[in-house]
Amino acid sequence: MIAALAGGVGAARLLGGLVRVVPPRDITVVVNTGDDTVLHGLHVSPDLDTVTYSLAGVVNPETGWGLTGETWAAMEALERYGGETWFRLGDRDLATHLYRTQRLREGATLTAVTSEVASSWDVGPRLLPMSDDPVRTRVTLAEDGGGGGGSREGRSEDKEVEFQDYFVRRRHSVEVRAVRFDGAESARPAPGVIEAIESAATVVVCPSNPIVSIGPILAVPGVEEAIVHRRADTVAVSPIVAGAALKGPADRLLTELGHEASVVGVARLYAPLASILVVDEADAALAHRVEAEGLRCVVAPAVMSSPELAASLAEIVLTAGATRP
């Protein structure tokens, strides 16, 4: 059994590699739901859907999220009414949110709905939301946040917005002062999360944003403790290569929140929970600084530009996890 902690696009790539090197049924993926949002009355779980669509081989290859070959008639129709269209929901993707929302309203848990959606797409690994309880990532922007509100949003005061408002509406191009996970303190891990971590041969922390993708999972009470307990068998993959995020704002967020935007900064964050950090060859010169943080540093080609490279990175991760120094 392998347990993996996952955000969206970067995680999905590594998971695509993992299913090529171990039987998919032997993998449990614990997915971030801090990005979840309600739009048009629909419950949207972006990271769960990105992982589902990617493992099903139907993700849009250009964006890394949403469905391939998608059409946008509903968004175009919504534009006519002046409805909210900054968060693009494709026509077929909408069906996922309609179904999820209806099932949740009927009283089904997010765990149950996630399993129904994943099995209808023939996804092999078990996908678990980190929690069935609502945990929402909220981002404090410096000053007015820049996003369309002009001076009325108040230049002198920080402004807290929901994650997708920061990430998509403001294209994560605004300075961040703080991040918090609303609801985390009273959330419980979803059924199976702690058991998966406890029983896994290797726990993999996927190359997702340490602050806003892995951070919410660790904020659910009991999860970080369970991983710390498995530190010797936990392998993290750096989402930062040569000081830059492969996708998204991880490098800027690290800097803005006082961390080093490098594999060394990632090592510092993960040192309490992982014993190994896999970094790209571009960062080979920093391996000794990673090791100075108390982790074993494995240098490997970590930019997954093809399914084959993702599979060989997955193999390296699992081999590292199974090898005692």
Among 65, 166, 181, 270, binds ligand FO1 (CB under 6 A): 65
x/- contact string, 206-225, with ligand FO1 (CB under 6 A)?
-------x------------
34 sits near ligand FO1 (criterion: CB under 6 A): no
147-176 burial string, b = 16+ CB within 10 Å, else e?
beeeeebeeeeebbbbbbbbbebbebebeb
Interface with ligand FO1 by CB under 6 A: which range of 45-53, 67-75, 217-225, 270-278?
Answer: 45-53
Inter-residue contact 275 to 232 (CB < 8 Å): yes
Question: How far is Cα 251 from Cα 198, in angstroms, rounded to an integer?
Answer: 31
Among 59, 75, 93, 270, binds ligand FO1 (CB under 6 A): 93
Question: How far is Cα 181 from Cα 35, in angstroms, rounded to an integer?
Answer: 10
Helices (H), 179-306: 193-199, 215-219, 223-229, 250-256, 263-270, 287-292
Interface with ligand FO1 by CB under 6 A: which range of 86-94, 194-202, 224-232, 266-274?
Answer: 86-94
Among 28, 35, 202, 219, binds ligand FO1 (CB under 6 A): 35
Among 40, 88, 180, 296, binds ligand FO1 (CB under 6 A): 88
R_g of the chain computed on alpha carbons: 19
- For residue 285, what are its two tokens? 């010169």
- For residue 208, what are its two tokens? 């997702």
Interface with ligand FO1 by CB under 6 A: which range of 3-11, 118-126, 224-232, 305-313?
Answer: 3-11
Which amino acid appears at position 151 of this protein?
S
Q: Categorise residue 64: left if φ over 0, alpha if ψ from -120 to 50, beta otherwise.
A: left
8 vs 189, which CB is nearer to ligand FO1?
8
Interface with ligand FO1 by CB under 6 A: which range of 87-95, 105-113, 224-232, 308-316?
Answer: 87-95
* Residues forming the site for ligand FO1 (CB under 6 A): 7-9, 35, 44, 46-47, 49-50, 65-66, 87-89, 93, 164, 167-168, 213
